[in-house]
Structure 1
Amino acid sequence: MHELSITQSVVDAVCERAAGRPVQVVNVRVGILTAVVPDAMRFCFDLVTAGTVAEGARLEIDQPAGAGHCRACDTEFTLADLILLCPCGSADVDITSGQELQIISMKVG
């Protein structure tokens, strides 16, 4: 479960930036192509925030869809998973969205 290590890194960064102030909300962007399961991340968040300034904080997850650009036919298309094939059949694809893994904001009290 890689969600645990990812969530631990997020909480470490949030707690460091909070500088002792209680954290109320953490907003993250986790693209669908990262293979991070939002429910697993929420579960891990509750575990790793225990005893920190982020204990009891709410985790809000924005999960942008995957998107790609085909260099062969110059088409933009949606990617539901990491099978990088354009509808035209080409595998000459650039991922343009869906791999994000970012802390967007946090609210401290």
Structure 2
Amino acid sequence: MHEMALCEGIIGIVEEEARNRPFSKVKAVCLEIGVLGHVAPEAMRFCFEAVAARTIAQGARLEIFEMPGIAWCMACSKSAKIRQRYEPCPSCGSYQLQVTGGEEMRVKELEVD
């Protein structure tokens, strides 16, 4: 389950921010996760709760915002939203799509005290 390692990285980011800015408690962590990133939101929530225990983020809400998959079609030169890899272009039906977005995961914001 790679979500556990991802949550450990998130806690590392939170703790680094706590060292750089004066706050003592994290109330919420807001993530943007691309639909093509192979990250299960429910697994992230479960792992985050376990990893955040006994840290500055203990009890914090994990808010996940799903980012769409975006691809550029090499055949018709249009951008399109996609839900998974290897879908055909919705404009022309070609399978020559280059993914340009939707693989990312980032900490968008922290709600702190």
Q: TM-score, normalised by structure 1?
A: 0.90
1:79 aligns with 2:82: yes
Unaligned runs of 5+ in 2: none
1:18 CA drift (Å) = 1.7
RMSD value over aligned CA atoms? 1.5
Question: Which range is displaced more, 42-51 or 14-23?
Answer: 14-23
Which AA in structure 2 matches 1:41?
M
Which residue of 2 is the match for residue 44 of structure 1? 47
Matches within 5 A, 1:1-109: 1-19=1-19, 21-83=24-86, 85-87=88-90, 88-109=92-113
In 2: Cα distance, 1:85 partner to 1:14 partner = 39
Give the superposition deviation at 1:96: 2.4
Identity across the alignment (%): 38
SS of 2:17's equivalent? helix
- What is the TM-score when the length of structure 2 is the normalising length? 0.87
State which drifts further: 75-84 or 50-59.
75-84
Moved more, 49-58 or 12-21: 12-21
Q: Which consecutive segments of 4 or more residues in structure 1 shift more than 6 A?
A: none
Give the deviation of 1:89 after TM superposition.
4.2
